Amino acid sequence: MNDIEFTDHISINDYLELRKTVDFKILSQRQAEIALKNYAFLIIAKRNEKVIGMTRLIFDGAYIAVFADVIVLPEYQGHSIGKTMIEKAIAYLKTNMANGEQILVMLMSAKGKEGFYEKFGFVKRPDETYGAGMSQWLLK
């Protein structure tokens, strides 16, 4: 697919629709707006002006980075779109490192997608070194 364009802008409505399409948690308009203002790196994949994927990276600027919203529409998976977005995000992190430094990069994989991330060096938890990753959704 040579007609894929990568950009760093997505509308709130496109963001919410993309999340909905892949069964991610529904966010409020307010949450989506704030999320799209608070990231270190954002890449959007488009084909014919249609948003087909995105990756958002949250980074403290020192040693902790978290991949959020790694999404590619199902009909576009397997065409290296996700791979390209992850590689560009990792390249961004590497530009923010000095020689000898390390950054811990974390993510929560969608069930069944772990193999995709292992190709980039991510390891499943728990393992010999780390316990299980944990998460919690708070509701008010």
Burial class (CB in 10 A: 0-12, 13-18, 19+), 120: middle
In this predicted structure, what is the pLDDT of residue 2? 82
Residues 65-105 have pLDDT tens digits of: 999 999 999 999 999 999 999 999 999 999 999 999 999 99
Residues 5-46 have pLDDT tens digits of: 999 999 999 999 999 999 999 999 999 999 999 999 999 999
The full set of domain ranges for the chain reads: 4-118
* 109 against 1, higher pLDDT: 109
User: Strand, coil or helix: what is 83?
Assistant: helix
Report the range of poorest mean pLDDT among 46-50, 56-60, 103-107, 110-114.
110-114
| Across 102-129, average pLDDT | 92
Q: Count Cβ atoms below 10 Å from residue 134 Cβ, excluding itself.
A: 7
Residues 10-21 have pLDDT tens digits of: 999 999 999 999
What are the strands of the beta sheet with 41-47, ordered from one edge? 4-7, 41-47, 50-59, 64-72, 104-106
What does the alpha-carbon distance between residue 123 and residue 41 come to, in Å, rounded to a whole number?
Answer: 22
Could you tell me if 70 and 86 are in contact, meaning their C-beta atoms sit under 8 angstroms apart?
Answer: yes
For the domain spanning 4-118, the CATH number is 3.40.630.30
Confidence of residue 3 (pLDDT cuts 50, 70, 90): very high
Q: Could you tell me which of 31, 56, 34 has the C-alpha nearest to residue 45?
A: 56
